[in-house]
Amino acid sequence: MTKFEDAIKHITGRIEKMINIDEKTLEKIITLFFNANNIFVYGAGRSGLVAKAFAIRLVHLGFPAFVIGETITKPVKKGDLVVLISGSGETIPVTMSAEIARRLGAKLISITANPDSHIARFADLPVILKMDEKNAELAPLGTLFEVSAWVFLDGIIAELMARKGETEDSMRGRHATLQ
């Protein structure tokens, strides 16, 4: 077996074990999305790329979604939802965003691997993607967290899609025509 095959097997095998969200937590997450005036997402580095991909899908679903730090992002206010993504939960710009969002009265979902982290403590709803092992040779520098966060958030998109009665065709109508 090649290192490539080993890595794929390792990563796909870990994803399902890391994403272990019960139905009650899922309901709370979905409720926060439907009750939000606006939705803001943020992460740094590769977690930031996951956040941006999630924001795009939210827009495709018709949610008013923004990426924190972009020049056209609205100000966060009370009644908004902020979703922060950080494996360590201690990345400085992400922790600062958690503190500011809390101070402004926004609801906060944190997605992290560290249940004792800064962003988990500030969150109304911390989502912990459980990492119980590391294998730098097959999944270096946070790969397992980032891949699991992406899959988790795509699962949230599927649930939101179903509950809104959206289809790929209706979402395609909100897809960017210039990129």
In a 3-state reduction of DSSP, which class is residue 2? coil
Per DSSP, 79 falls in state T
Cα angle at 173 between 172 and 176, to 5 degrees?
A: 75
- Residues classed as catalytic: 146
Cα angle at 178 between 40 and 168, to 5 degrees?
A: 65
Can you point out the beta strands (E) in the chain? 39-43, 65-67, 81-85, 107-112, 125-128
- 3-to-139, 169, 174 alpha-carbon distances in Å: 11, 39, 40
